[in-house]
Structure 1
Amino acid sequence: MTDENLQVFIDSVVNYFACTAEGEVKVGTPFLDENQQPTAFDFTGIIGISGPRRGCVYFTAPRALLRHLLLSLGESDTELANLLDIVGEVANTISGNARGNFGKEFMISVPVVVQGAPESIHVSRKLRSYVIPIYWKAYSAAVVISLER
């Protein structure tokens, strides 16, 4: 993955939070993960990728960040169903924006959302994933990109 490709995902995260959430999002330095144990917080929205690039892109965040994000969007119901919806929405938006840059052959699935244990996320052990740390308010989250060519 090139620096330009990573920047597409970084820009997508920044744009999402700039358009929908109060306050500025900060992006940490992306790093490679060996996929021994996937990076994950309380909730994760996973987008499957097919076409010339295959794998997944996912957004993972703690419950508190998602609750605060819902409230900042004017949604007072912060129960489980809405937490699952918002984590999937963020993942879908980030991947959809990337598709706009990579073209129609970068095919994305509907989001799959999971709660809890990192072992629920299956990434290829043959690949290394790029992890983009995200900091919003007092919270940490991440976008993880695991694609093969």
Structure 2
Amino acid sequence: MKKDWKYYLGVSLFVYSFLPLSILAILPFMGMTLAQAGAFAVVFLASGEIAFICAAALLGKEFPAALKTKIMALFKRTHKPKPISRTRHRFGVFLMVASTLPYYAALIYLLFFSHKESEIYFLTWTLVAGEAAFMAG
């Protein structure tokens, strides 16, 4: 693969195409109205999709093949896995089950209790904590 302007522009567009997904993850915490957040999300996601398509056109077939090879090498086993202890297994199962609890807590709170705007932000962070617990487990 020749490293000319097409390559560098394609890689830049490829990296940019993942930026909207990470920005949209923090969108609820930016203090926008629902209409503003929706319009921003649609335009920003569309720009990421267009950038990805342009990057694929500029980079050609070789880049995805090389990228796939590198990613698959990350997941290749280097050694045979050792069995885990019963305690570690139970802790992992506990984290997996506990990661679902913030969703039910937020749902019950929103349905049965009165809430203020500041409490909605707390609920949002609670849901983010549930996602973090799921990823850790």
Instruction: Specify if TM > 0.5.
Output: no
TM-score normalised according to structure 2 size: 0.26
TM-score normalised according to structure 1 size: 0.24
Give 1 or 2: higher helix fraction: 2
Give 1 or 2: higher strand fraction: 1
